[in-house]
Amino acid sequence: MSMRLERMIQLRINEFSTSSLIADNDYLKRAMASKQFDLSLEIRRLERELNLSQKEASDALNISLDRFKRYEAGDKRIPEDRYQKVIDELSDLRDDRDGVFN
């Protein structure tokens, strides 16, 4: 992931509202203001923390790679509770790994 993209992901929506990149793009503003977008950031954070590729994460969650990518993208068609389930499962995986290494 490019450094510019990584920086954009880390910024909050209110910081983006002044950016010339999306200042006039209502679709992006709505997408980034969604709960799913915030949850997708947490999924990506856990994926990085666990040092998993997208394929490894999807395998660990027992879901297709395409479906996992939809979670990462913040697909608003996926209910929030399903995002939370993915976050919980990745958190459990992290906790299990921590228990093994500590």
Map out the domains of the chain with their CATH numbers: 1-33 (no CATH), 35-102 (1.10.260)
Q: Write out the chain in H/E/C secondary structure.
A: CCHHHHHHHHCCHHHHCCCCCCCCCHHHHHHHCCHHHHHHHHHHHHHHHCCCCHHHHHHHHCCCHHHHHHHHHCCCCCCHHHHHHHHHHHHHHHHHHHHHHC
Spatial separation of the C-alpha atoms in residues 58 and 7, rounded to whole Å: 25
Q: Specify the pLDDT at position 13.
A: 47
pTM: 0.72
Average pLDDT, the chain: 82
* pLDDT value, residue 23: 62
* Stretch 4-32: mean pLDDT: 63
The mean per-residue pLDDT over the stretch 17-23 comes to 57
Model pLDDT, residue 28: 74
Provide the pLDDT for residue 5.
Answer: 60
Which pLDDT value is given to residue 22? 60
